[in-house]
Structure 1
């Protein structure tokens, strides 16, 4: 049976496909600009020749000129009479140490792209690519993605999401970060609230080593290598937080139960996870959805399946998250938009459900 094709639609879709490939290549150019300091060197908006920009950044002019060709033709830089400039509005999105610097995200594409062949093999054979295959580089990538958010928003915006938490931290309480990665979030909190005790747990020994190095000199924070699902503590915590750490667990239900058990009876759990629905049809049209599902395929899903795990995926969604929190024994979660991170949502939930007297 021959299907009649709408040639205009064919051409339009072919253009979109090529646009995907072009944007994919440009992502590598953004990564190079971030790694080499080229965006920072051009951030003042002045018009520069390729040689002048290369001199500012201490780089090879020929490479810089080719890089500028890519980013100028893509509309990131402007060009006139042999000089290039980075508009202030573009620099605001590509420079600085804060959460607004989107250039750091390019590292994720570069890193995950190295494992495409392994993930493709898993499509054929089952299983997945283990988390160990992504380390230690993955630790550094995630640190870059989150550091600006923690520095800018953790104390001022995340802490107030939990009623009374600031007062408890000032007076002295116990707080844990499960799946803490390089531990920067706890370092920020430990410096701000010296009367409180902070403990970070992560399955990666490399990440914990980085965390301990940064925390030198802070007596109120420590870090331990621990699988989230195996978390067991002698002294319960007043607050436990996780940042994008549940959906890629091999045993996410076990991790939530362990977190629930590690909390004091009046304790609170703060869980930051991707802002998505559990239903694909609800995510169609969400500008972040394609990114989330792709990251899931290349990392979050495959590291779980590699261990024979649940394979929730990055877009496991709010509905399933609420169900799993309830199954673990938590009360009704309150959802917030994640400060400084439009791709995430924050769920704040008490340890005890109303049925249990909470």
Structure 2
């Protein structure tokens, strides 16, 4: 016989407090995104304690808006305010995580992820009510944010490359590299500039992202990288056999219409002694474990607002970003791969780096 749980006033009060804290932090996140996009954090980091008028002038912004933004930053503990002379200061310890000079440590980029995805809220709500999905083309701003995120690039060069024997030497000598689902091509562009004897190919379904990548390659004068706008759904049959020495997919497989077809195509096009690098979200695939991940709320939110909709929008499986290591191992094994070694790095706590071989 079922019994109704007794209402716990203390539990209710604690939950109400948690909600209030969540709303406050969500509001602060929105303001951090605004500070990042406007360049205010970068400007503040370069200047001494200043008044709101001085800060607005230095950043070429309207003072009244800047003053209200500063209020949110002071209330959130991001910026310090001196009451005696009415000046504001961004501590160096905070600037280390909020400015473009911080590189991979610029956490303000993650605020832009969240703020940009909120713009797709009405579309996601419609999908929840009626089914279906959303086209990649609806996420232009999200891809701009992804293009700014340097955590994967920094981790790749500083942590991952030294972990793979001889890969750096091979890249210097000259090999063929494919990035399947390359997005705006940030990692490939950096690789192409560092390893001029190697050739790099990026493939992505999204024309907007590919155009961004091509534009940056042309601007940088890189002749050893190409970007192709292409649907990888039939990659298992279209891939050229034994073509690439290194294949990469960066947070891309779970978004595909047919993840298995893409993985089988990667297996087919990878040389027998080649390396497949799959970077994917750091999850187990089991909610009772993943709920304790310190970034679980962020990752499930991004998955609900982007990863699941774009997959279902193609008629795909809708694996979601949190599909997890267990299924990654199952999928790669079914695709034909025989070895998989996961790496996790402090510089990129959101992802796991899988080194996979035939």
TM-score, normalised with respect to structure 1:
0.92
Asked if the contact 2:155/2:345 (under 8 Å) is kept, the reply is: no
Q: Give, in whole Å, the separation in 1 of the partners of 2:79 and 2:232.
A: 45
CA RMSD between the two structures: 1.8
SS in structure 1 of the partner of residue 49 of structure 2 = coil
Instruction: Give 1:215 shift.
Output: 1.3
Q: Give, in whole Å, the separation in 2 of the partners of 1:213 and 1:243.
A: 20
Which residue does the alignment assign to 1:293? 300
Asked if the contact 1:41/1:56 (under 8 Å) is kept, the reply is: yes
1:321 aligns with one of 299, 309, 328: 328
1:95-244 alignment, distance < 5 Å: 95-97=99-101, 98-134=103-139, 136-145=140-149, 147=150, 149-150=152-153, 152-216=154-218, 217-231=221-235, 232-234=238-240, 236-244=243-251
Between 238-247 and 84-93, the greater mean CA deviation after superposition: 84-93
Asked if the contact 1:229/1:258 (under 8 Å) is kept, the reply is: no
Instruction: Give 1:162 shift.
Output: 2.5
Asked if the contact 1:330/1:349 (under 8 Å) is kept, the reply is: yes
Instruction: Give 1:187 shift.
Output: 1.4
SS in structure 1 of the partner of residue 254 of structure 2 = coil
Structure 1 residue runs without a partner (length 5+) = 353-358
| Residue 343 (structure 1) aligned with residue 343 (structure 2) | no
SS in structure 1 of the partner of residue 352 of structure 2 = strand
SS in structure 2 of the partner of residue 215 of structure 1 = helix
| Residue 262 (structure 1) aligned with residue 269 (structure 2) | yes
Asked if the contact 2:182/2:249 (under 8 Å) is kept, the reply is: yes
Q: Give, in whole Å, the separation in 2 of the partners of 1:307 and 1:190.
A: 31
Which residue does the alignment assign to 2:340? 333
Asked if the contact 1:199/1:222 (under 8 Å) is kept, the reply is: yes
Deviations 1:116-174 (A, max 9, x none): 1211121121222222322x3332121112x4642x34333332332211111111111
Asked if the contact 2:267/2:336 (under 8 Å) is kept, the reply is: yes
Asked if the contact 1:161/1:348 (under 8 Å) is kept, the reply is: no
How many residue pairs are counted as aligned between the two chains?
Answer: 348
2:61 aligns with one of 59, 62, 71: 59
1:87-102 alignment, distance < 5 Å: 87-97=91-101, 98-102=103-107
Q: Give, in whole Å, the separation in 1 of the partners of 2:4 and 2:324.
A: 40
Q: Give, in whole Å, the separation in 2 of the partners of 1:202 and 1:319.
A: 26
Q: Give, in whole Å, the separation in 1 of the partners of 2:321 and 2:345.
A: 16
2:38 aligns with one of 36, 52, 56: 36
Asked if the contact 1:45/1:88 (under 8 Å) is kept, the reply is: no
Deviations 1:202-221 (A, max 9, x none): 11112111111111222211
Which residue does the alignment assign to 2:317? 310
Q: Give, in whole Å, the separation in 1 of the partners of 2:167 and 2:205.
A: 27
Deviations 1:247-269 (A, max 9, x none): 11111111111111111111110
Deviations 1:20-68 (A, max 9, x none): 1121121111111001111111115732211121122111111111001
Asked if the contact 2:178/2:200 (under 8 Å) is kept, the reply is: yes
Deviations 1:315-356 (A, max 9, x none): 001111011111101122111014631110100011x2xxxx
Q: Give, in whole Å, the separation in 2 of the partners of 1:324 and 1:233.
A: 18
TM-score, normalised with respect to structure 2:
0.92
Q: Give, in whole Å, the separation in 2 of the partners of 1:322 and 1:118.
A: 33
Q: Give, in whole Å, the separation in 1 of the partners of 2:46 and 2:190.
A: 29
Structure 2 residue runs without a partner (length 5+) = none
SS in structure 1 of the partner of residue 179 of structure 2 = strand
Asked if the contact 1:247/1:312 (under 8 Å) is kept, the reply is: yes
Instruction: Give 1:282 shift.
Output: 0.9
